[in-house]
Amino acid sequence: MAAGGSSWSAMDPSFETQNGAVDRLKKLYPAVNEEKSPLPRAWSAKEKYNYIGLSQNNLRVHYKGHGKTHRDAASVQATHPIPAACGLYYFEVKIVSKGRDGYMGIGLSAQGVNMNRLPGWDKQSYGYHGDDGHSFCSSGTGQPYGPTFTTGDVIGCGVNLIDNSCFYTKNGHNLGTAFTELPPNLYPTVGLQTPGEVVDANFGQEPFVFDIEDMMNELRSKTRLSIYDYPVYEDQGEWQAILNNIIYRMVSTYLVHHGYCNTAEAFAHITNQPFNEDIGSIKNRQRILKLVLAGRMGEAIERTSRLYPGLLEHNQNLLFMLKCRQFVEMVNGSDVEVCPRRNIGGFSPSYNLSPRPNSPIQTSVIQSTKNYSNNKTKPTVEELNQNNAAMNGSSNIPVIRTTDDSDVEMDTAEEIQNGHADNSCNGKLITNSSNGYQNGNGHSNICSNDRFEEEDEEDMDVDTALRKSCKPAVERILEFGRELYSMSQRLKVEQGSSEHNEKMLEDAFSLLAYSNPWASPVGWQLDHAQRESVCASLNSAILESQNKPRKPPLEVAMAHAQELVRLMSSSGLGSCAFASVSDLMEH
């Protein structure tokens, strides 16, 4: 069936990518790994006969020979063969001009085929010719196939890499199967023979005239059904019970691995499976991972050391990775060790400055101290209050007031709770900022009934009065950076050079080179999504220390299935394009 508009011209195949749009070829052929098997995107400047001329980014082909006999025929191949992982490959050729006689051929050919011939005339060469509408299959003698084509027509060539067949289209209409039992690794090919012949190619950089995606969806559905209908043993008794038990255990271990405690218990109850997991251990891991996902690396490291003694001491590379992430979070303003906290249970984890989630301006500790370090004149109290109000977007903040020319004090928590401010929740004080120098990086407490650990509730709050004696944030970051560098040197001496550790440290330290690290080339580190891989590594290490697998069996099985699909691709099995594991899981 036809799909809107047939008016298109040759253009740069990377045009859409350069303009921020999704590369259509990657969308059409998601299973193709172009690092190993590049897709055809243009005609080859090398694999062509001398009578062929190329222009417009090697997408336009024109004839420049004499065109007196068939010996003047000339062809050109695409830059790369068609990858088997495409599953269904398709390209279109528009006849810009039929020239003198319209002796043109469109089709496929293997590497090494004579380019002084039209496609289809030689062995392992296949073509559909415009002057007579015949198809040529490795022979100079054609077979009636379809209509002739001329100036303005758009001819499409499709290759089904599942059954190794080829079909053609004309102006969006399928002409049916032309060739079967095709060999692998064929190149898109076009041939011309008389003066004035000009054609343009569309390898997918623009929408096709023919609706190839509809055909792809049909093949995808057939592949999915073949998987679902794969025959199993007719005896469904004991074998089926064993299979169900294995599947239930895989799902259960997955839920436990990722800390979905309540879901795991409910699943065990529904499936009548025993649930003998240590709920306390699951919740401990969950609390640690929540701290990591919140960017509170200092607390996560401290709690890991407390709950799992010896884990980090015996896994120094893991500890180094966690501390590198802590450095990044310090720059981000999510984990800045500037104040000592209440000593609870003998531990004094550092206070975390978390950026306000609704703040319109995200400010790093580098920016937050910029004005302070560059301003030799001490700001007035009024300026401090104005700065607090401006950066926090609210007037309901602790007000700084003076008692003489030098001392600056704040309304205490008791005064605010007794009516001096209404920024509280459930009777608990919520402070948006502590002083004029934090410039929008004040810690924000959120009212919630959820707690990481009930006995540590007080440990989550910070005594506002302690902030006046805090070490400047940037100074603490630099001090932490020196400690981190010393650790890297020690690990280098003890374990040898590690490119991974060196790259991690270099990327983290590079953030300090920019006044606005979020907009820098290394700003990707500040993305919250980067915390997830840290979570996964820490979670796996904790589980391994408890003699449990680093990865749940369900994820291992998924990885095996995906690897099998990749092996199908490398083995030239086109059905791999429609055997997506994630697609099957969604359905």
DSSP letter at 422 equals -
pLDDT value of position 148: 96
pTM: 0.58
Task: Report strand pairing: 125-129 vs 197-202.
Answer: unpaired
Question: Residue 108 has which token pair?
Answer: 């496929």
Cβ-contact 411, 388 below 8 angstroms: no
pLDDT value of position 349: 39
| CA–CA gap between residue 171 and residue 425 (Å, rounded) | 68
pLDDT value of position 497: 92
Q: Are 254 and 294 contained in the same domain? A: no
Handedness of CA 567, 571, 577, 578 (dihedral sign): negative
Closest CA to 204 of 416, 321, 30, 444: 30
Q: Are 218 and 307 contained in the same domain? A: no
Q: Are 158 and 51 contained in the same domain? A: yes
Helix axis angle, 297-307 relative to 316-332, nearest 10°? 150
Q: Are 92 and 196 contained in the same domain? A: yes
Q: Domain count for the chain, please give it.
A: 3
pLDDT value of position 59: 96
- Rounded to the nearest 5 degrees, what angle is found at the Cα of 465, between the Cα atoms of 462 and 469? 100
**C-beta neighbour count of 142 within 10 angstroms:** 18
240 inside domain: yes
Mean pLDDT of 198-209: 95
353 inside domain: no
229 inside domain: no
Structural domain ending residue among the three candidates 223, 246, 262: 223
Residues with Cβ within 8 Å of residue 158, at least 6 apart in sequence: 88, 89, 90, 166, 167, 168, 169, 210, 212, 215
Cβ-contact 127, 60 below 8 angstroms: no
Res. 187 pLDDT band, cuts 50 70 90: very high
Cβ-contact 504, 521 below 8 angstroms: no
Res. 214 pLDDT band, cuts 50 70 90: very high
Q: Are 175 and 253 contained in the same domain? A: no
The single-letter code of the amino acid at 189 is T
| CA–CA gap between residue 119 and residue 115 (Å, rounded) | 8
Task: Report strand pairing: 187-192 vs 197-202.
Answer: unpaired
pLDDT digits (tens, 9 = 90+) for 2-32: 333 333 433 344 444 443 334 888 889 988 8
**C-beta neighbour count of 272 within 10 angstroms:** 7
The single-letter code of the amino acid at 570 is S
Higher pLDDT, 157 or 391: 157
Residues with Cβ within 8 Å of residue 506, at least 6 apart in sequence: none
Q: Are 74 and 189 contained in the same domain? A: yes
pLDDT value of position 341: 40
Q: Are 131 and 209 contained in the same domain? A: yes
pLDDT value of position 336: 54
Q: Are 94 and 193 contained in the same domain? A: yes
536 inside domain: yes
pLDDT digits (tens, 9 = 90+) for 275-333: 888 888 999 999 999 999 999 999 999 999 999 999 999 999 999 999 999 999 999 98
Structural domain ending residue among the three candidates 185, 202, 223: 223
pLDDT digits (tens, 9 = 90+) for 433-487: 333 333 333 333 333 333 334 444 334 433 333 333 345 788 889 999 999 999 9
pLDDT value of position 366: 52
pLDDT digits (tens, 9 = 90+) for 498-521: 999 999 999 999 999 998 999 999
| CA–CA gap between residue 4 and residue 2 (Å, rounded) | 7
Q: Are 162 and 29 contained in the same domain? A: yes
Mean pLDDT of 395-416: 37
Go through 143-177 and write b for each residue having 16 or more CB atoms within 10 A of its CB, e for each that does not.
eebbeebeeebbbbbbbbbbebebbbbbbbeebee
Closest CA to 190 of 38, 396, 42: 42
pLDDT digits (tens, 9 = 90+) for 46-79: 999 999 999 999 999 999 998 888 899 999 999 9
pLDDT digits (tens, 9 = 90+) for 128-154: 999 999 999 999 899 999 999 999 999
349 inside domain: no
307 inside domain: yes
Higher pLDDT, 107 or 368: 107
407 inside domain: no
pLDDT digits (tens, 9 = 90+) for 225-282: 888 777 766 565 666 777 788 888 899 999 999 988 899 999 999 998 888 888 889 9
Q: Are 65 and 152 contained in the same domain? A: yes
Q: Domain range spanning residue 100?
A: 24-223
| Percentage of residues of the chain with pLDDT beyond 70 | 71
302 inside domain: yes
Question: Residue 142 has which token pair?
Answer: 């054609």
Q: What are phi and psi of 48, to 5 degrees?
A: -155, 160
| CA–CA gap between residue 307 and residue 37 (Å, rounded) | 49
Give the CATH number of the domain where residue 160 resides.
Answer: 2.60.120.920
Q: Are 130 and 211 contained in the same domain? A: yes
Q: Are 175 and 247 contained in the same domain? A: no
